[in-house]
Chain A
Amino acid sequence: MNADLLKQYLKREGATLVGIGDVSEALTSEIMHLNRGVAIAVNRNLNRETIAVLSRLQGLTVGWLSARGYRNLSIPPDSDRRKDKLITKLYKLFCHKTAATCSGLGWVGKNGLVINRQYGSRLSWATVLTNAPLAPDQPVRESECGDCDLCVRHCPSGAVNGHHWSIREPGRKIVAYEKCSALKDKRQSLEGKPNCGFCVTVCPYSRNGKVSGGTG
């Protein structure tokens, strides 16, 4: 099943990137039948309503797939903050990074975030899992961070250790999240803003440049 129609539709409606991933290997028994992941990304720089835009795009995707008789499950962009419903239990069975890498839209950087060649880590993600036999894109299999270690050097909490991600080691811990969240808590109480965002802003890909050694 050709996925171009869906991709073009979502891009017309405001998606920055859309990819289709074969996510079979990342699924647990509850959602095993939904083996395609539609990864939808929106550039956070475009506007402040990123989550609302993503939610709307997700709704359009569900409508598009349902109208053609396929099943689907939306993993919302802020899935970690949703706890009010029973369906939210399923959100943690699947992460946006898997859909993003499987659909070839990026790799997991040393900073633990999806890095896209054009937009770096400035994207927000939403995923729709479906059983529609959409033709999958080529996955990204290895990290393309190379020798760059700007995020390792700039992380104020020391959470970024410089580990390389690979699709072959899905369980590997890239970032010491406990250190990162300890700093977030502290910042939240001192400044009312949890995210420092250094790992996003120092990344050469996020600044829309090419990685060119240590010019940063």
Chain B
Amino acid sequence: MADDARKKEILEKLRNGVIQYDEDACREGANAAVAEGLDANEAIFDGLVSGMEEVGRLFEAQEYFVPEILMCADALYAGLDILKPHCKQMDLGVKGSVVIGTVEGDVHDIGKNLVKMMFDVAGFHVYDLGRDVPLDKFVDEQLKTDSELVCLSAMMTTSMVGMPKVIEKIKAKNPDCMIMIGGAPTSKDLADKWGADGYAEDASNALKEAIKMVAFLKKLRDEKAAKQ
């Protein structure tokens, strides 16, 4: 086990690797973490994700733009691929599966991919339907996989209008399933109006919302089971 100074150094390398979109640095940091017996979950959250949080801040401050964000995400994945096999069961208290996709008529999937990445990081099982996904496919896939969570993404107002239809259909078949919407034209008001359980403007918000919702759902199910 590496000492504290060395551990800090490795975490810093992972964090900076993400921020400076340096895939090689992330790989080196991840390999060092594995070789020297660092906890993989810690390396992911205090290293890679901590870097991604800073990237989010730089994006808000308009220091970074979309190309930088994507390159940072690629660097994060380079490290994550190495660390993932060494992960113990996530101790976030929740573990779930999620169906995610960009709705019919919309081919924009950059935001969706970033959200997907955050689910990957958190140890969710992700069923990624891709982009321009027919509305009924979401309903079918949710039933087939019994996922606790469905995430709908849209970048255009014209394709966003498909969302309430999906929400209605899924809720009719499986009222326990949680639904999140996200993307540039969506808002908290629209999510409320359409009966979606969550709304996320960006990737880091989506992750927080998702963990909160799955935890809530598990609690509901447990309570139900206790009553029976």
A binding-site residues for B, Cβ under 8 Å: 30-31, 33-34, 71, 73, 85-87, 89-90
Contacts and interface: CB of A to CB of B under 8 A. Distances in A.
B16 interface: no
Contact of A90 (B66, B77, B117): B66
Contacts of B32: none
B67 A89 contact: no
B70 A31 contact: no
A30 B66 contact: yes
Most chain A beta-carbon contacts within 10 A, residue among B67, B68, B117: B67
Contacts of B114: 86
Contact of B70 (A33, A34, A71, A90): A90
B67 A30 contact: yes
B65 A87 contact: no
A31 B70 CA distance: 12
B110 interface: yes
Chain B interface SS verdict (over half): helix
A85 B113 CA distance: 10
Contacts of B217: none
A31 B67 contact: yes
A131 to B, nearest CB: 9
Contacts of A86: 70, 73-74, 77, 110, 113-114, 117
A57 B214 CA distance: 48
B4 to A, nearest CB: 33
A83 to B, nearest CB: 12
Contacts of A30: 65-67, 110
